[in-house]
Chains A and B, each alone.
Chain A
Amino acid sequence: MKMLKVVLLLTLSLFLSTANAAEKEMKVGFVYVSPIGDAGYSYAHDLGRQAVEAMDGVTTSYVESVPEGPDAERVILNMARKGYDVIFATSFGYMDPMLKVAKQFPKVAFLHCSGFKQSENMGNYFGRMYQARYLSGIVAGKMSKSNIIGYVAAFPIPEVIRGINAFTLGAQSVNPDATVRVVWTKTWYDPATEKEAAKSLLDVGADVIAQHQDSPGPQEAAEEKGVYSIGYNSDMSSFAPKAHLTATVWNWAPYYTKVVEAVRNGTWKAESAWPGLAEGIVDLAPFGPMVPKDVQDAVNTVKAEIISGAKKVFVGPIKDQSGAVKIAEGVAAPDADLLGMTWFVQGVVGTTE
């Protein structure tokens, strides 16, 4: 019996010492809402994770296809229990589960993407994708001949509406006659429905298809019809080599490595971060061969202005669909207004309901 106790103690101490050794290595966990192979949203986050993995003394792991809700809490809790130092949860619906776990583990740094809640040890972050969408709008406005641009969109929430507005403003900045027609699919990822939605836009004369959807369904529709398309999340040109003008893409690596470094140095504080083109978090994918040099130059000029801060996307006068002025002349809309945007700018055809 005594022998057994000794053995037990020995194994326990061995276990503890390995646990200590492991502490020197930083552990960073990621929670994704979809499979990383989706060529889309989670794929983009995972490229960021790989950059973190490449840092010295850091190991990472991830759990993919985690449904929003109770399952998410279990996954995040599990990571926190296993001694992860930093946990990134990358979907809106992880907000409350993460907040709950964050309260139980005050020493762990929690970061939530696309939400609005924070605590002592939980920050939130997202990217100013609307800046990249403005640039892609310029491309669409220049390339459209029918002046009808189709936009397949998931849900009428501020994030998506803001993107559509920025895209439309971009298109109209170079082509005042351009209108953007919106079709809601009410799904983030359903290739069949998204493709059908794109076809319905092609039927009404659209010759450029943009999307705020995670599947390449709309790209396929544009390729088959022989018109142009603009991808989202990551470079989607492999799905539509002849149609794909460019894509608005996420590039999380600089932000993720910065946060992990800050946590390691003890300088990290929970905050609400909203980086954009200037920080390199959002960008355009390489232009397709069909985009003329002058269009590329025009886009790059505006891109440089946005990065330098000389240009802002939402500066008045900006009118809504009814023609009423929503952002007064010369006024730059504050972030709070952008985050709560629920109206379409003039030139968008569609409803926000």
Chain B
Amino acid sequence: MSDILKIEPIYNWLKKNNWAIYNHQIETLKLSENGYDVLLVAPTGGGKTLAGFLPSLNDLINNKPKKNKLHTLYISPLKALTIDVHRNLTSPIEDQGLNIRVETRTGDTSAYKKNRQKVLPPHMLMTTPESLALLLSNKESKDYFKDLKYLVIDEIHTLVNTKRGDLLSLNLSRINSISPDCKKIGLSATVKNKNTVLKFLTSKKKAKTLNVEETSVPKIDILETINRVPWSGHMASYAIRDIYQKIKKSSLTIVFVNTRAQAELVFNKLWQENENNLRIAIHHGSLEKEIRRKVESLMSSGKIDCVVATSSLDLGIDWGDVDLVVQIGSPKGISRFLQRIGRSNHRFDEPSNALLVPSNRFEYLECLSAINSIKNKLLDETKEKQGSLDVLAQHILGVACSEPFQVDELYNQVINAWPYRNLTKIKFFEVLEFVKNGGYSLKHYEQYSKIGVNKNKFYAIKNKSVRNRYRLNVGTIVESYMLKVKLGNRTLGQVEEWFIEGLNEGDTFLFSGRVLEYQSISNNNVIVRSTSHTQPKIPSYAGGRLPLSTELSIEVRKLLSKKQFWKNFPNQINEWLKLQSQFSNLPSLNGLLVETFPRLMRGKKRFFLICYTFEGRNANQTLGFLMSKKMQRIGYKPISFVATDYALAIWSINEVIDVNIILNDDLMLDDLYEWLEETPLLKKNFRDAAIISGLIERSVPGQKKTGKQVLFNSDLIFNVLKKHEPKHLLLEVAREDSYRGLIDLDRLSDFLKRIEKNITHEKLDRISPLAVPLILEINRQTIDKSEMEEYLLEELENETLSEVGLS
């Protein structure tokens, strides 16, 4: 306690508010005073942010800071978080009358304020990775950051192993070379690979991780319902009434869902149920900023009873006294779930309160697994990723914009950034050539090079316009082109262009919690009007579901494979699994269960092959493509397949006799490359890489391209480049991102190794109980949407169930 006394005003302020001082706050201060860079890993709540700022506040209060020099830089992945932290810091500073200026700087900051911040920097500046990149590309940046003493990075774990993180780490390394004595403090939620996060934060030897254990175990239940848990689907409509009852009993509830479409639907259904006129709001990333801010402020002032939200409310912002968190559908990952649970009772010495609502049967198992994992303190692991070269290209240009650089010096600075530690000099030069003039073997653009070598062998930008253009293209997030949704003069939010393209005049859809009727597009605005329809014609407008994490997948297989775990399951689940074990077999922990059976499909006999992999939708999708190709070659005549998080179902004209010929190591070698080159995913990743690296510009001063134009051009370029320079830097980036991303190649290859010689093939004469959700999913996906009335689905479901004897 003695140390903190030195920061008397802070101590007084904490005391006045009756707030405790935590040990880890003092520890952080001590370590930092002794010259350490610190990574503070702690669960949500518990004064993590204050801990991060204590060393800096201490220095500002006790040592007279230099006038008009930036002293502390705070970086957070969310704009909203910078604003929140700004508010939280301002309160003790104002209360104690301290002479410390704190300001935010994000994409939303006015040009006037930005200019003033340049001339007259505040002591503390709160910003985002993108705004930092922009600040560092200024000509005066060296002078601006020269006296920087402290650097605080919040929610740092969300940035590691992402392209945004690559950009930030390059800039951290740059700051490090400008002001080598600046002390860094990283704030992270509990993660598995702490060491990577520390390395990401700092390359110094004098660095330590402070780990704060969770003191209370969160209280998590699965919703008990007298209703039947559905066989398939994702909307959890069956549970809305029960959820509403829980909301009624709590003072402030957040209902988390996984997609924006789910958010709209659940919100709509809750209001239909809302007999008590509870104040229920909605919050997701597509809504207009003002609407979101309004909901947030209603939350913190307690003027609201429930918010239906997506990941837009995930991160560490303190939104008032939430006492219940409901998660609809599986959280798909343990860390994400913990983060969400942490929203309730946002003080870390009190247990959090959470309710899980599975939207189908497999999800029930998944939810149980998530609870077990949290009890056993298991955590997800993020796959490590090497720094992306498109981001490096953007960074090199940024450095050149701020000042002429020397190649070796920049190379050393780059490999000092953790994600780029393995970058060879050859690759570095390749990227440099790309930035200069496209890096084509045909030296076509030399006369136009963006950067050139000056007399002193320093690289410098050719003219000012290069800097101006760079500034418009900073960042690693490439979003689909968004259109504003206008209801009269009000802007409700934004939707993707592709969604609107699929609409016809008069179509109705859910947005911002209302049913809207689409009228027209004018000046990049979507003009809508209110309608009295209660059922929207177009149910959803966004995908973006995350695949099941590897750790959760192991837990689910564990649950299934051991019968002694089942006794706590509700009856309906228990019966389902029992019947499966009698009729066929159960998936084992390390092997693979494959079922084959004949079944009529639209009046024709088809042979179904089901692989219960539990490897997530992306890996299953890839597996489906590869297996279909192979089956085709062997002559089984596959027709199509459906992949879920849990399993893959392929149906064919001929019966598969030996699955071992299909499912082996060769599977990955045979068709993978050829298939990948043709996927739309590769084209999409190429577009992103082309934009991040600056090959295609987001926008040119004075003219804004529409999203469609960008896409059109990048596809044309993609085809030409593939033909003429198949090994071009950007194609390599796109391939790597595809392998890593949606295709989930590593996971698939691990899977194939694991199941080798461990495949159980059950040849059945009809569909098994475990296959029911899959067959229903096939119906959902293959029936023309316009015919897909609810009753039809129900009929199909009943038919399938009676086939198995489960009705």
Do chains A and B interact in one complex? no
